[in-house]
Chains A and B, each alone.
Chain A
Amino acid sequence: MRKFRDIYEKIIVGVLFSSSTITSLTVILIIVFLFKEGIGLFNHAVVDDNHVIAISSQNPVKDLTADKLAKIFNQDYATWQELGGTKDSVKILTTSTLMSIYTEEQLGANGENIPSKVNEYVKAHPGAILFMSKSFLPADFAGREIAVDKISLKKFLTGTHWYPTSSPIPQFGIWAIIMGTLMVTLGAILFAIPLGMATAIYLSEIASMRLRNIVKPIVELLAGIPSVVYGFFGLIVVVPLIQKGFNLDVGETILAGSIILGIMALPTIITVAEDALRTTPRALKEASLALGASEWQTLRKVVIPYAKSGISTAIILGIGRAIGETMAVLMVTGNSSNIPTSFLQPARTIPATIAAELGEAPYGGLHFKALFALAVILFLFTIIINLTVEVIKNKARKQSA
């Protein structure tokens, strides 16, 4: 009987232990999956194996980087001169232009004449650049293939163009998205700090117990409202207000995102900061008051300095709440991929970009991988925030010990 009970308890402890490992396991799995897909972006060929980019062998231009190629296909250059080549005009040849230049008869019923026509075209136009299926190239092709650079981490982080679907050279520069994320977060925190700190101080130091018991649940209720409802409210109320108030063409701006995110960060900031303020020992406060300091002086010189680390934790957690928020931002910031220079411009953030584009990105493609790489960046941001909070907490614990 005794033995049976021991085994039973051991099994239970085993079950309890395995349950407690699930969170750690999930964190590890999240890291593995995000990194696995995200890193794929940097090993993956930009143009897939079945397609090819080529120029005429008479064309002397060298060092065609992915950026230049993207511009060429975007028809930003009229001639090759700007790229250090001849005065030949840039002629883009893709499958669809091929169809418009030659008739179906010329190309053959099953496209059997396509390779020879491609060759004919390239020979006639030294400025030709072509992008098409490899199978369309003739055996004696009069041009040379160009190997497109793989995407580098530096390009990814500092590139300013986010054109994930442009063909044949998609561009994945996330600088504008990072700037958008940081600006929206900064705005949110600037909005939330005065309101949040004032409320925390009011609740912990000034308000009567009765008022506190009314206000506290209201603040907690703010945390319970779904983000999509905040987004909806922002879209219907805040966005038009900003549009009219500042006389803008569109009201979907960083400012709108900041206000909504600021409101959403309030409960976190208020709750954590209030808890921190409340831990100030009564003896400290009373000592200050006994010296003739007013309550306000005590608050400023004793309570707030004592709660400093808790207050910074509150603000950092508020930043964490704002930086990862998806739906509300997606609905009110306009999602422009230009680098924002003021709070009255639209911008896009990392989470909003992922939410808006993942549905349309083909599974396993470059765009798909780029969105996972964005998620890795976002994940790193939040890990840094969490670790900072841990460090501050540990420091405070050491100081008080």
Chain B
Amino acid sequence: MNKNINQKIAFSVFKLLSFAVVAILFVILGFIVVRGIGVVNWEFLTAMPEDGMTKGGIMPAIVGTACLVLGSMIFAFPIGVLSGIYINEYLPENGLKKFLRMMTNNLAGVPSIVFGLFGMALFVNYLKFGDSILAGSLTLGLLALPVVIRLTEEALKSVDDNLRLASYAMGTTKLQTIRRVVLPVAFPNILTGLILSVGRVSGETAPILFTVATYFLPRLPQSIFDQVMALPYHLYVLATSGTQIEASKPMAYGTAFVLVAIVLFINVLASLLRRFLQKKVKMN
């Protein structure tokens, strides 16, 4: 009898703690949404910041983040997918494969601030790009690279081996098999990976601190060598180092809301897309 009571107590504790984790998420999201939603309107999204960032909007930060996300994905997505294909489809289980996986894991474990330092040392100073969208995008791209590689590998791994064998049996080459059989099947998951890494990149602050982000720049970028404002850095500035922290608080809530909304939207989009495309692939 005793052991059943023990079990009941233990399982209830586990259940309680799990619900606590869920509650934490809802508290954080709820807090940001409740405080932020009133601030956000069309003007907030489309106007320049004004009056020491206590009024106006956050358009340059939104545009800046969009530029950085786009730039980093142009760099990370092709390279990540190509190396995922190479590691999973071409390499046999040997030392090189192990080594490349280990390096990818190591890169994934590098703290984001170290990416920032590295980006500053390599792109800003050594290659003389200066504080620019180019330097920031490349830094963020390197940060996203291990994520893209891993998700691509996983997507490729989940492709049934019989499909590959069937294709070979028809006399196709390896490349043809990958292009015509493996990639189309793996595509939904690869795409999901891309979307999730966009979410990751759009919220990163530390890597852009010293490579591109600027405190206040109320105009839109003209070239890839311009500095930009970015949403996460803007939130950091508003929350900690603005000249009038109290007066700019509504702006901070609004910015946090927009940032969280983007991340939520991306996550939902990713799972919806995965479901939709998976159905489509099955039907073909």
Contact = CB atoms under 8 A, between A and B. Distances in A.
Please indicate whether A and B come from the same complex rather than being unrelated chains.
yes
Contacts of B212: none
A263 B15 contact: no
B61 interface: no
A8 B15 CA distance: 57
B83 interface: yes
Chain B interface helix/strand/loop/mixed: helix
B113 A355 contact: yes
B149 to A, nearest CB: 7
A354 B99 CA distance: 30
A359 B210 CA distance: 7
Given A30-B110, A199-B17, A351-B111, A235 B146 contact: no
Contacts of A378: 111, 113-114
Interface in B3-42: 3-4, 6-7, 10-11, 13-18, 20-22, 24-25, 28-29, 31-32
Interface in B241-284: 252, 256, 259-260, 263-264, 266-267, 271
A354 B118 CA distance: 12
A242 to B, nearest CB: 16
B83 A20 contact: yes
- Which of B15, B145, B173 has most A Cβ within 10 Å? B15
Contacts of A221: 25, 264, 267
A229 B260 contact: yes
| Most chain A Cβ neighbours within 10 Å, of B10, B109, B118 | B109
> Interface centre among B14, B17, B78, B149, by most A CB within 10 Å?
B14
A-side interface size class? 35 or more
B282 to A, nearest CB: 20
Nearest to A327: B205
A296 B235 contact: no
A295 to B, nearest CB: 6
A233 B32 contact: yes
Contacts of A12: 175
A228 B203 contact: yes
A227 B203 contact: yes
Contacts of A323: 111
Interface string B125-136: 110000000000
Nearest to B204: A226
Q: Is the interface of A mostly helix, strand, loop or mixed?
A: helix
A206 B174 CA distance: 45
Interface in A346-401: 351, 354-355, 358-359, 363, 371-372, 375, 378-379, 382-383, 385-386, 389-390
Choose among B32, B90, B110 the residue with the greatest number of A CB atoms under 10 Å from its CB.
B110
Interface in A182-206: 194-196, 198-199, 201-203, 206
B214 to A, nearest CB: 11
B163 interface: no
A225 B32 CA distance: 11
A248 interface: no
A237 B31 CA distance: 9
Given A22-B145, A206-B15, A224-B263, A30 B209 contact: no
B7 A29 contact: no
Contact of B117 (A22, A23, A295, A372): A372
B206 A327 contact: yes
Contacts of B20: 195
B232 A33 contact: no
Interface stretch (A47-55, A101-109, A120-128, A211-219): A211-219
B13 to A, nearest CB: 7
B106 interface: yes
B267 A224 contact: yes
B111 A294 contact: no
B117 A371 contact: yes
B109 to A, nearest CB: 5
Contacts of A100: none
Interface in B94-145: 99-100, 102-107, 109-114, 116-118, 120-122, 125-126, 142, 145
Given A16-B86, A294-B3, A26 B107 contact: yes
Contacts of A286: none
Given A23-B107, A226-B205, A294-B4, A34 B263 contact: no
A202 B18 contact: yes
A154 interface: no
A310 interface: no
Given A23-B149, A217-B271, A372-B117, A16 B82 contact: yes
Given A33-B118, A207-B15, A221-B264, 4 more contacts: A20-B82, A20-B86, A24-B99, A228-B236
Interface of B: 3-4, 6-7, 10-11, 13-18, 20-22, 24-25, 28-29, 31-32, 78-80, 82-83, 85-87, 90, 99-100, 102-107, 109-114, 116-118, 120-122, 125-126, 142, 145-146, 149, 173-175, 196, 199-200, 202-206, 209-210, 232-233, 235-236, 239-240, 252, 256, 259-260, 263-264, 266-267, 271
15 contacts: A20-B82, A22-B79, A202-B11, A224-B264, A226-B202, A226-B205, A231-B236, A232-B239, A295-B11, A326-B112, A327-B205, A331-B239, A355-B113, A382-B109, A386-B102
- List the 5 closest A-B pairs by CB distance, nearest first: A324-B111, A226-B203, A198-B17, A296-B7, A20-B83
